[in-house]
Copies of this chain bind each other. A is one copy, B any other.
Amino acid sequence: MINFFFQPASIAIFGASTNPNKSGYKLVQNILDHNYSGSIFPINPKGGEILGKKIYKNLSEISEEVELAIIFVPNSKVISILKECIVKGIKGAIIESAGFGEVPEGLKLVDEIKVITENFTKIRVFGPNCTGLTFIQKDGEGFFASFVPMPKIKTGSIAIISQSGFINGGYFLNITSRHPNLGFRYVCAIGNKMDLNENDLLEYIMQDPEIGVICIYVESFFDVRKFIRLCNLAKNEYNKKIILLRSGLSKLGSQATASHTGALARERTELIKAVIKQCHCIEAEDFKNLFQIAYALDFTKNSDIHQVDNPGVSIITISGGAGAVMADLCDKFNVKIPLLSKNSFDELSLIYPKWMPPQKYSLLDIWPAVENAAGDYQKVMLKSLEIVLSDPNIHAVFLTAFYSRTSWKMNWYLVEELIKEHRKPVYVWLFGEYSDVLEAEKIFQELKIPVFYSEKEMISTFSKTISQ
Query: Nearest B residue to A26 by beta-carbon distance?
Result: B407
- From B164, B319, B320, A319 is in contact (CB under 8 Å) with B164
Indicate the member of A102, A325, A457 with the most B CB atoms within 10 Å.
Answer: A325
- From B103, B170, B256, B402, A323 is in contact (CB under 8 Å) with B256
Indicate the member of A105, A163, A174, A455 with the most B CB atoms within 10 Å.
Answer: A174
Say how far A251's CB is from chain B's closest CB, in angstroms: 7
Q: How many copies altogether?
A: 2
A219 CA / B326 CA spacing, docked (Å)? 12
User: Does chain B have a CB within 8 A of A384?
Assistant: no
User: Does chain B have a CB within 8 A of A247?
Assistant: yes
Query: In chain A between 141 and 183, which residues have their CB closer than 8 angstroms to a CB of chain B?
Result: 149, 151, 162-167, 169-171, 173-174, 177-178
Contacts of A169 in B (CB 8 A): 319
Task: Scan A435-468; emit 1 where CB is below 8 A from any B CB, else 0.
Answer: 1011000000000000001111100000000000
Contacts of A453 in B (CB 8 A): 288
Contacts of A254 in B (CB 8 A): 324
Query: Nearest B residue to A436 by beta-carbon distance?
Result: B177
User: Does chain B have a CB within 8 A of A341?
Assistant: no
Say how far A403's CB is from chain B's closest CB, in angstroms: 9
- Decide: B257 and A320 in contact? CB cutoff 8 A: yes
Say how far A351's CB is from chain B's closest CB, in angstroms: 16
A106 CA / B166 CA spacing, docked (Å)? 59
- Decide: A359 and B174 in contact? CB cutoff 8 A: no
Contacts of A288 in B (CB 8 A): 453-457
- Decide: A250 and B356 in contact? CB cutoff 8 A: no
Q: Given A98-B368, A166-B318, are A247 and B324 also a contact pair (CB < 8 Å)? A: yes
Contacts of A408 in B (CB 8 A): 170
Contacts of A164 in B (CB 8 A): 319-322, 324
- Decide: B177 and A327 in contact? CB cutoff 8 A: no
Contacts of A413 in B (CB 8 A): none
User: Does chain B have a CB within 8 A of A255?
Assistant: yes
Q: Given A21-B375, A247-B328, A250-B330, are A355 and B103 also a contact pair (CB < 8 Å)? A: yes
A219 CA / B327 CA spacing, docked (Å)? 12
User: Does chain B have a CB within 8 A of A363?
Assistant: yes
9 closest residue pairs by CB, A with B: A164-B321, A260-B320, A250-B331, A166-B319, A247-B324, A288-B454, A177-B434, A253-B328, A253-B327
Could you jot down 8 A-B contacts, CB within 8 Å? Answer: A164-B320, A170-B432, A174-B431, A249-B328, A249-B331, A259-B320, A260-B324, A261-B320
